[in-house]
Amino acid sequence: MKVELHLGDCLEVLATMPENSIDTCITDPPYELGFMGKKWDSSGIAFQPETWQAVYRVLKPGALLLAFGGTRTYHRLVCAIEDAGFEIRDTIAWVYGSGFPKSYDISKGIDKQAGAEREVVGKYESPENTSGGKGRKFCHGGQPLDGLPDITAPSTPEAQLWHGWGTALKPAFEPIVVAMKPIDGNFVNNALTWGVAGYWIDGGRVEVDANDPHHRQNGSKGTPGGMFGVSGYVGDQLSSSGRFPANLIHDGSDEVLACFPNVKTGTTGGGTNVMGGVFGNGKPTTSPVREGSSGSAARFFYCAKASRAERNAGLEGMPAGNVQQYGSIRANRGNGYPEVTIMQNNHPTVKPIALMRYLVRLTKTPTGGIVLDPFMGSGTTGIACVLEGRDFIGIEREPEYVEIAEKRIAEAQMQPRLELPPEVQE
């Protein structure tokens, strides 16, 4: 397995690479929101078809491109990718409950413009620690609780009229565009000619709890299947593959789980099909009862946001800097104040390793395949490739992030890699 990191502009680096040489592109490009005044998040490069044409050139026919986007600007990203020649195949939604609203309080703005004093009626409190230390309170920006902003009441009549109005919703998902370089002929020919075709469905299947009584069929109970899933069903027979991968990924938070009723779903069969067959041959057939699944969102892959320990692994001894995170789990939810923390990994948009591993695995070819990330950031895609046994080429133009990526990937290379079960290796 090879790891190749490049410091430089992605367009310049891509121009030096041979065409039709890359199996997959998985990347988290700038959302072009001007986040925290970062120049790299306001260059417009993610919206330029030329950017994705350069990626298109180096990808093999049939290769998949997975690119994260922001909900406000996703449409421009997708249009640029499509204009570059890619086919848009799907959108994966990564849903989470730990986002914080960056909403402007209109009532406060009115009072401020009028120069009116607002009465202090309380203080905001940080949420309890959800990652350990029950009952502990977080601090805002490293300050004690008494440093949190005050809760104030509207002063002027106009501010009272607009009390409770804001300018943004709580962020709860990020879209991932799934695009494909057009195939050479059909999928069979593409697979045999280029070694790339579709998704690794069995590798991306979602695990099922074998002890759940609903996961039975015809009186038979499923058996564990390890990382690659637990008891799924194909026809009337048991399978050790797990549930079919979906275009929704969630973080397992209470907010997300509450959106999914905890009911049994998908029970089929037990009746007579008068059509009979796929196209209908007029012969009635009776199908067996196939039990559905239960457990709320358990039928979807879930992945929480990156923890502090995960972000900083391998960066011991590096100087720490301020970082304001998108949707930090430590944010003071509901008051519009994001959390600023001190971390060695000061990249503001670090994706969780488990999420990137899943995407790397889902797009894996039978021989592994090379993954390209032209917007490498702090190297999470590279870490995922190391752990999943895929070759990786990363490009990043910011020297500080390349240094962070090098150290994080080096730390991951000391971890055990994914070993395929014997039945998958065969």
Nearest to 77 by CA among 40, 52, 53, 58: 52
Is the Cβ–Cβ distance between 163 and 121 less than 8 Å?
A: no
Distances (CA, A) of 31 to 28, 44, 63, 288: 8, 9, 23, 49
Bigger pLDDT: 392 or 207? 392
The pLDDT of residue 212 is above 90:
no
Is the Cβ–Cβ distance between 315 and 323 less than 8 Å?
A: no
CATH superfamily for domain 3-97+171-201+303-317+349-420? Vaccinia Virus protein VP39 (3.40.50.150)
Work out the average pLDDT over 264-280. 40
Work out the average pLDDT over 100-114. 91
Q: What is the pTM of this model?
A: 0.70
Is the Cβ–Cβ distance between 184 and 99 less than 8 Å?
A: no
Chain center to CA of 384: 12
Distances (CA, A) of 151 to 118, 125, 288: 9, 10, 61
Bigger pLDDT: 65 or 350? 65
Q: How confident is residue 95, by pLDDT bands cut at 50, 70 and 90?
A: confident
Summarised one tens digit per residue, pLDDT across range 298-339 is 555 555 555 566 666 656 555 555 444 444 333 333 344 444
Nearest to 372 by CA among 59, 163, 53, 35: 59
Work out the average pLDDT over 417-424. 47
Reading the block at residue 245, the tokens are 């991968």
Domain with CATH 3.40.50.150 in the chain: 3-97+171-201+303-317+349-420
Question: Phi and psi for 334 in degrees, rounded to 5?
Answer: 90, -10
Task: Out of 74-88, 232-246, 319-333, 406-420, give the one with best mean pLDDT.
Answer: 74-88
d(CA 404, CA 344): 8
The pLDDT of residue 77 is above 70:
yes
Helices assigned H by DSSP within 115-163: 157-161
d(CA 166, CA 380): 34
Work out the average pLDDT over 171-175. 88
- Residues comprising the chain, all counted: 426
d(CA 25, CA 420): 22
The pLDDT of residue 376 is above 90:
yes
Is the Cβ–Cβ distance between 336 and 104 less than 8 Å?
A: yes
3-class SS letters over 207-250:
CCCCCCCCCEECCEECCCCHHHCCCEEECCEEECCCECCCCEEE
Cβ partners under 8 Å of residue 367, min gap 6 = 195
Reading the block at residue 375, the tokens are 């917007």
| pLDDT at res. 121 | 92
Angle at 384 between CA 381 and CA 385, to 5 degrees: 90
| pLDDT at res. 138 | 36
Average pLDDT over the chain reads 73
Residue type, 250: H
Is the Cβ–Cβ distance between 82 and 91 less than 8 Å?
A: no
Task: Out of 15-19, 91-95, 205-209, 263-267, give the one with best mean pLDDT.
Answer: 15-19
Work out the average pLDDT over 217-227. 32
Long-range contacts, stretch 135-144, CB < 8 angstroms, 24+ apart: 138/330, 138/332, 138/339, 140/332, 140/337, 140/339, 141/339, 141/340, 141/341, 142/340, 142/341, 142/342
Residue with tokens 């939604």: 93
